[in-house]
C-alpha cells in the first residue's frame, strides 16, 4: 500500500525537513517487505482563498486515494500499536494508496473533513503543520516497525 501525505505549505530546509527525510527513509526500508510504501509527500500552496481554496488543492493531491485520512484535533486518538493495526487493516483490505491530509494554519475545511474515511488526532493540542508532518512520518515508521516485530517501539 502506497502512502501519501498531502500537506498545505512548503517545507523549507532545516531540522523538520531532515527529520522527515530520515523517518521517511526508515519507513520505506521497514515497510517495503510488509507491502507498505513508498511514501509520497505532496505539498500544496497556502492560498489567500483560505481553507476552501486549500481544500480544493488537497482534494486534487489526494484524488485517487483511499482511505482518505484527515489529520484533525477533533479526530480519533490512537495508541501507536492501534495505529499500526489500522494501517495493517487498510493494507490487508487491498487499499492501494492511503492518503493523510494536513491542513494549513486554520486546519482542513469542513467539507473535505466530512469526505475523509478516517479522522486522526495527535491529541487535543494544536500542532504546527510542519511538526505534524514530522510526527506523522515518525508514526508511520513506528507502525511499520510494530508490524515487522521490530524492537523500535517500546511501551
pLDDT at 155: 57
* Residue 37 belongs to some domain of the structure: yes
Q: H-type helices in the chain, by residue range?
A: 15-31, 50-61, 80-92, 110-115, 129-148
Query: For residue 153, is it within any domain?
Result: no
Domain assignment present for 93: yes
Backbone angles phi, psi at 46, to 5 degrees: -70, 130
The answer to whether position 155 is within a domain reads no
Q: Is residue 82 part of a domain?
A: yes
In a domain, 142, yes or no: yes
Domains in the chain, number: 1
Three-class SS state of 78: coil
- Asked if pLDDT for residue 80 goes beyond 70, the answer is yes
How confident is the model over 13-41, as pLDDT tens digits?
999 999 999 999 999 999 999 999 999 99
Q: What mean pLDDT comes out for the span 117-125?
A: 93
What pTM was computed for the model?
0.93
Does residue 128 lie in a domain region? yes
Q: What is the CATH number of the domain that holds 105?
A: 3.40.1280.10
C-alpha separations of 46 from 14, 22, 116 in Å: 19, 25, 20
**Looking at the domain assignment, is residue 154 inside a domain?**
no
% of the chain surpassing 70 pLDDT: 97
Domain span at residue 87? Answer: 2-148
Query: Degrees (nearest 5) of the Cα angle 100, 98, 82?
Result: 80
Amino acid at each position: 500500500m502506497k502512502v501519501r501525505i498531502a500537506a498545505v505549505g512548503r517545507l523549507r530546509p532545516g531540522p523538520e525537513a531532515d527529520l522527515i527525510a530520515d523517518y521517511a527513509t526508515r519507513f520505506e526500508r521497514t515497510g517495503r517487505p510488509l507491502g507498505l510504501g513508498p511514501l509520497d509527500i505532496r505539498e500544496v500552496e497556502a492560498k489567500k482563498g483560505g481553507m476552501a481554496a486549500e481544500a480544493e488543492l488537497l482534494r486534487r493531491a489526494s484524488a485517487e486515494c483511499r482511505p482518505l485520512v484527515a489529520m484533525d484535533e477533533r479526530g480519533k486518538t490512537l495508541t501507536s500499536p492501534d495505529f499500526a493495526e489500522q494501517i495493517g487493516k487498510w493494507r490487508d483490505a487491498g487499499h492501494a494508496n492511503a492518503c493523510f491530509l494536513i491542513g494549513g494554519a486554520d486546519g482542513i475545511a469542513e467539507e473535505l473533513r466530512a469526505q475523509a474515511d478516517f479522522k486522526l488526532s495527535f491529541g487535543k493540542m494544536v500542532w504546527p503543520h510542519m511538526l505534524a508532518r514530522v510526527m506523522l512520518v515518525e508514526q508511520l515508521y513506528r507502525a511499520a516497525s510494530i508490524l515487522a516485530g521490530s524492537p523500535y517501539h517500546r511501551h
